[in-house]
Chain A
Amino acid sequence: QSALTQEASVSGTVGQKVTLSCTGNSDNIGTYTVGWYQQISHGAPKTVMCGNSLPSGIPDRFSGSKSGTTAYLTISGLQPEDEADYYCSTWDRSLLVQVFGGGTRLTVL
């Protein structure tokens, strides 16, 4: 059981907007920046969002937000190359560990 809760799977068509969610509590998401990580075919994770900051080289169709204890990753204008597993993660000040979501499999139809 992961400390952060993500949808197991999400799908969308090319050009569509999709939003992935990541729910935690006040000790983790409510306090710290949430990162989002893309993993294609179990290759190395790639950071696509740090809070609401877009890392260099990541397309601006990716955006991040947070409301209370839930973080969101929105992909506007879905592309075939966005098909991947997406994980969220942040620090937990109570557990004193980095917590991860179980991952969302994004399928581009």
Chain B
Amino acid sequence: EVQLVESGGDLVQPGGSLRLSCAASGFPFNVFTMHWVRQAPGKGLQYVSNILSNGNTYYADFVKGRFTISKDNSKNTLWLEMGSLRAEDTAVYYCGRTQDGSFLDWGQGTLVTVSS
């Protein structure tokens, strides 16, 4: 059974940092593209970043230079290092794995709240 379990969400002050984790199991982690997607309160799904099986990374414009995606294939874990956090980064953050452009599985999400 495929499982994606996010953790690390918290209340953080504007300008602060946070590291999200996504523990994966039930599939060959090193083969798939992994994503972070977020959803702000009352809004739709929004792409944040993804990392290919070869390690290439991509980011939405609004997080470039502030967020860093990484993974450890030996630990089956995906991370999102978030810096210079803003109020508008408040959202539930989901990790997911994709194949040929479609999400196969999603995690349950972790809530990040940026507020003073």
Using a CB–CB distance below 8 Å, which chain A residues touch chain B? 2, 28, 32-35, 37, 39, 42, 44-47, 50-51, 55, 85, 87, 89-91, 96-103
Contact = CB atoms under 8 A, between A and B. Distances in A.
Interface in B67-116: 92, 94, 96, 98-109
Contact of A100 (B44, B105, B106): B44
Given A100-B44, A102-B44, A44 B103 contact: no
B17 interface: no
B78 to A, nearest CB: 15
B11 interface: no
A35 B101 contact: yes
Of the listed residues B58, B59, B98, the one surrounded by the most CB atoms of chain A closer than 10 A to its CB is B98
B41 to A, nearest CB: 8
B23 to A, nearest CB: 15
A44 B109 contact: yes
Of the listed residues A35, A51, A98, the one surrounded by the most CB atoms of chain B closer than 10 A to its CB is A98
Given A34-B102, A55-B104, A44 B94 contact: yes
Nearest to A53: B102
Interface of B: 35, 37, 39, 44-47, 50, 58-60, 92, 94, 96, 98-109
Contacts of A102: 44
Contacts of A39: 45
Contacts of B101: 28, 32-35, 89-91, 98
5 tightest Cβ-Cβ pairs between the two chains A and B = A35-B102, A32-B101, A91-B101, A90-B101, A50-B102
Given A32-B101, A98-B37, A98-B50, A44 B107 contact: yes
Contacts of A45: 45, 94, 96, 103, 106
Nearest to B42: A42
B106 to A, nearest CB: 5
Contacts of A51: 100, 102
Nearest to B37: A98
